[in-house]
Structure 1
Amino acid sequence: MRFQLTDDQRALRDGVRQLLARRFDAQALRAAVAAPGLDRALWRELGEAGFFALRLPEADGGAGAGLPEAVLAFEEAGRALLPGPLVATHLAAGTVPGAATGEAVVTAVDGGLVEWPAESDIVLGDASGAVPLRSVDPLTPLHRVPEGAGSRAPDPVAVLLTAAEQLGTAARVCELAVQHARAREQFGQPVGAFQAIKHLCAQMLVRAETAQAAVYAAAITADPVDIAAARLLADEAAVRGTRDCLQVHGGMGFTWEAEVHLHLKRTWVRAQRGGGTTESEELLAADLLA
């Protein structure tokens, strides 16, 4: 199976990256951390660009694209640490008025947690009695819902798009680690010249490349078992990659000036969404036993 992107897919990926670089750059990221809240103007701009309506048929006002294209878009969102309930709103396009255009912000109850309920126009599932939680990620407000409220099997597409976001983070922190290893000097030479740093960067790249192959393959097959495997690999690449990136940065990686700690916190939150480690492992085990 080949994973060479088509010209249209490259154009889509580059277009999303350029949009986010223009509208949610490092300065905007810092501003969002200092004053958390959803940028509704950016949300509508994403809608105008077709981010949420990407998989809707053209007759319904969408782009008529498929799951592989959605994966590319969400991978870029993961790279940029774009906040907000992107997956839930994307899945609601075509069924919830305003979701496709970015006029509505849609969240979903995921297990016992729901993201962004205070900011959202619509919360899917029974979120009555939601209690605010202190989130490890300053850009992702979390609320806990009563036990059993809104519980449902995770949507395979939601699982895959979360894996795509994790993949974007895995690729980004690998880049950050390499950039720092080249620029930071100790004992008269770049720290990247030391074997321990080389090994960390190499391991990050291998995990990211492996996860990318799995996520892209699952986007083509749309098989729940393939998606479960992709999610496990993407979660591992993101969580371990951000930890290794922290090691490369040393003590600086824990400071507010560094981007990497924000990626680490976001990977932790994403890893708790439906279809995470336990659920994906159970699905793979059941398939093997069958």
Structure 2
Amino acid sequence: MRFQLTEEHRALRAAVRDVVGRSSSAGAWGPVASRGGAADGYSPAPLRGAAARPGDFQCRLDRGLWRALGDLGLFSLRLAEADGGAGLGLPEAVLAFEEAGWALVPGPLVATHLAAGVVPGAATGETVVAAADGSLVEWLAEADVVRPGAEGAVPLRSVDPLTPLHRVPAPARTDPVAVLLTAAEQLGTATRVCGLAVQHARTREQFGQPIGAFQAVKHLCAQSLVRVEVARAAVYAAAVTADAVDIAAARLLADEAAVRGARDCLQVHGGMGFTWESEVHLHLKRAWVRARRGGGGTESEEVLAADLVARAA
């Protein structure tokens, strides 16, 4: 089977890219970039004073961006047209969330998307919804509505300064759609950091030549690209089949592509990648946080193991 994007798919991806790109360029949370190029700068303004203590976050969710995403239809993509949605499916949602991951969009995107049609205002972006995803709840303090399962949540100090976290004592059951959309966000991050690594390898010079001329750097970039394309095939296929085993495999591959890709990108950038002027470290931190959603890779590994046992029986 060939998975080719249609003109409608490309138009959807471009529309999401335009909205998140304009907000990013305005300094809403970080990288100032176009979808095809490297970042021109970085605005750390929302991060000042963040996370002095567990749960002590001063960054605020951009409500204007949230409503813009609602107007675009990000949260109502899979709602029936009769209910005010776009009547699209998982493949289209995956493309949209991949773009959001690429652009490092903060906020409980998955929880709000899943609440569309259930929580009033979620579909249009007027309501921010938080929900327990496994043992974690993102952006609890900024949410207008908190879904059942987040009772007794306690604040954590998040490694990602743009993702405030709470932990719940009783882990919630993970929705397979949430797992797939998380994989899509991870795929976006993996694509972004691969591009950043290649761009830096082409332009940064040492010993009179671009660092990309050195074999070790070439290998890091090549391996990152391979992981991205393998994860992309798995995520897109899982979006078509909606099979729990396919989704579990896609999640593991996307987590690996995002985390290892961001670490290798940081290696290519050297010490510069750790600075606030660079977005590289934020991609790594966001990938770490997403990798812990919904029980992390352990839950997906259990799904795959159970399938293998069933096939062998």
The question of a shared fold, defined as TM-score above 0.5 by the shorter chain, is answered with yes
1:161 — aligned with what?
A: 181
| Residues 166 and 267 in structure 1, CA contact (< 8 A), matched pair in contact too | yes
Name segments (4+ residues, structure 1) moved above 4 Å: none
What whole-Å deviation, never above 9, does each CA across 1:64-107 have from its counterpart, x for those lacking one? 11100000000000000000000000000001000000010011
In angstroms, what is the RMSD of aligned CA positions? 1.2
| Residues 75 and 113 in structure 2, CA contact (< 8 A), matched pair in contact too | yes
What whole-Å deviation, never above 9, does each CA across 1:150-193 have from its counterpart, x for those lacking one? x3321100000000000000000000001100110000000001
| Residues 138 and 165 in structure 2, CA contact (< 8 A), matched pair in contact too | yes
Q: C-alpha displacement at 1:32, in angstroms? A: 3.1
User: In 2, distance between residues paired with 1:215 and 1:115?
Assistant: 23
Read off the aligned partner of 1:287 and give its amino acid letter: D
Taking structure 1 as the reference length, the TM-score comes to: 0.96
Q: C-alpha displacement at 1:18, in angstroms? A: 1.3
Taking structure 2 as the reference length, the TM-score comes to: 0.89
User: In 2, distance between residues paired with 1:119 and 1:61?
Assistant: 25
| Residues 160 and 219 in structure 1, CA contact (< 8 A), matched pair in contact too | yes
1:82 — aligned with what?
A: 105
User: In 1, distance between residues paired with 2:259 and 2:26?
Assistant: 21
2:46 — aligned with what?
A: 32
User: In 2, distance between residues paired with 1:219 and 1:131?
Assistant: 33
Read off the aligned partner of 1:32 and give its amino acid letter: P
Check if 1:195 corresponds to 2:235: no
1:108 — aligned with what?
A: 131
2:270 — aligned with what?
A: 250
1:239 — aligned with what?
A: 259
**What secondary structure, in the 3-state scheme, does the structure 2 residue paired with 1:24 have?**
helix
User: In 1, distance between residues paired with 2:186 and 2:16?
Assistant: 16
Q: How many residues align?
A: 287
Check if 1:180 corresponds to 2:203: no
**What secondary structure, in the 3-state scheme, does the structure 2 residue paired with 1:241 have?**
helix
Q: Percent same amino acid at aligned positions? A: 77
Check if 1:43 corresponds to 2:66: yes
Instruction: List aligned pairs for 1:86-101, cutoff 5 A.
Output: 86-101=109-124
Read off the aligned partner of 1:162 and give its amino acid letter: T
Q: C-alpha displacement at 1:36, in angstroms? A: 1.3
2:7 — aligned with what?
A: 7
Q: C-alpha displacement at 1:25, in angstroms? A: 2.8
| Residues 20 and 103 in structure 2, CA contact (< 8 A), matched pair in contact too | yes
User: In 1, distance between residues paired with 2:151 and 2:79?
Assistant: 30
**What secondary structure, in the 3-state scheme, does the structure 1 residue paired with 2:160 have?**
coil
Gaps of 5+ in 1: none
Instruction: List aligned pairs for 1:124-135, cutoff 5 A.
Output: 124-135=147-158
1:70 — aligned with what?
A: 93
Greater alpha carbon shift after TM alignment, 72-81 vs 136-145: 136-145
2:160 to 137, 143, 149: 137
Greater alpha carbon shift after TM alignment, 164-173 vs 27-36: 27-36
User: In 1, distance between residues paired with 2:307 and 2:149?
Assistant: 31
Q: C-alpha displacement at 1:281, in angstroms? A: 0.5
Read off the aligned partner of 2:261 and give its amino acid letter: G
